[in-house]
Structure 1
Amino acid sequence: MPPYMQDRSGRRRLAAVTLLLVTAASAMTTLTSCGTDDDGDGARSTSFTPRPTPPDTSSFSGTPPSALASADASVRASASAAASSASAAASSFEASVSAETARANAEATAELKKVPGGGNARSDVSLTGKPRAQTGGVLAVVVNITNRTDRQASYAVQVDFADPSGKVVESRIVGAQDLDPGEKVQPLAISRKPAEPVLTPRVAKAQRY
């Protein structure tokens, strides 16, 4: 082969090798730039997106309150608040009762403890409702006591308050002292229960002594 053809063939091989090296270097640069990040001081570090780690529920204890339990707790709290409010209102209304009436009620309570049945004066007693607008919203009934005998007498009366099922949920005692024949008095029997459910008052005992 003539010398000038050998020289030309060598230059072509050199050019092909150079092109191959440049292509390889370019590919390496592209891969490096795609897979690493420069941290500012010349070092490169591989970047990645961390996957969220699910919470470890093995250390959890107890169970959240159910909607029913929460509702039940709310109802109990409301009922307790209503009962406290009704009791406070009854106490405020009763504070206006005279000391003489308070003494009569205390004596009537002691007297009824000695009565085994319904008493001997149920026919002398009746009940009349009193508007809540006049009692501060509490349930109060007028106990009409009339001395139907021909001599002076005292009375002790127990009023029961029953719920819609007929169950007695509260009892109040009132008294009247030294009534003359034909005389009538009207003490109040005051409930301390909330307005709901509606209670029905009735004469449970009435004793003349």
Structure 2
Amino acid sequence: MLDSAQAEHPPAEEGEAAGGTLLSLLIPSLPERKERLDPLLETLALQTAGKPVELIVMTDNRRRSTGAKRNSLLQQAQGRYVAFIDDDDRVSERYVDALLDAMAGRPEADCIVFEVMVHEGGKPPRTCLYGVEYEHGMDESRYYRKPNHLMVYRRELALRHPFRDIGYGEDDEWAARASRDIVDQARIDEVLYHYDWVVKPLSWYDRR
């Protein structure tokens, strides 16, 4: 399989982002993840129908690193804001509506953060809070992180910080750089994303 990118909702023409596409949802994927990706795309298709949102999926056969794919997706995005979704995760029923409401209420925001529920095997789920005010850490009930690729960034801010051309760890490294440029942060006090944390074998990292 060759590298491929598909826009589920056609991107706005050049120069239309401000009045047309508000949000670009970007998903890098792999052929073997199709079983997890398809339900996610069905959910997002329902949530984005008729709304100023484009969905761009890039699938390849590991010819490029995850960081390189993220950069390519950012270059294709036409929305005023961008957010990544990992192909093996899930979004809440209100994911798109909540993000659009936040954009309408805080159109000047550099970044919109929300809560993520982390599911780790048989352990009780734990929320992760994102914000420029947090350092990387955890306590008895929560994780804390700088705003990363899952959060909503203004596209021009995100483009200032290319992802490193590496297979893993590119998201945290990017977040450390990009979050320094956030001046106006909006917050949604709601779980909008579900992250399934699965411990992977070392061979998996070698192939990314």
Decide: shared fold, TM above 0.5. no
TM-score, normalised relative to structure 1: 0.23
What TM-score results when the alignment is normalised by the length of structure 2?
0.23
The higher relative CO (CA closer than 8 Å, separation ≥ 6) is in 2
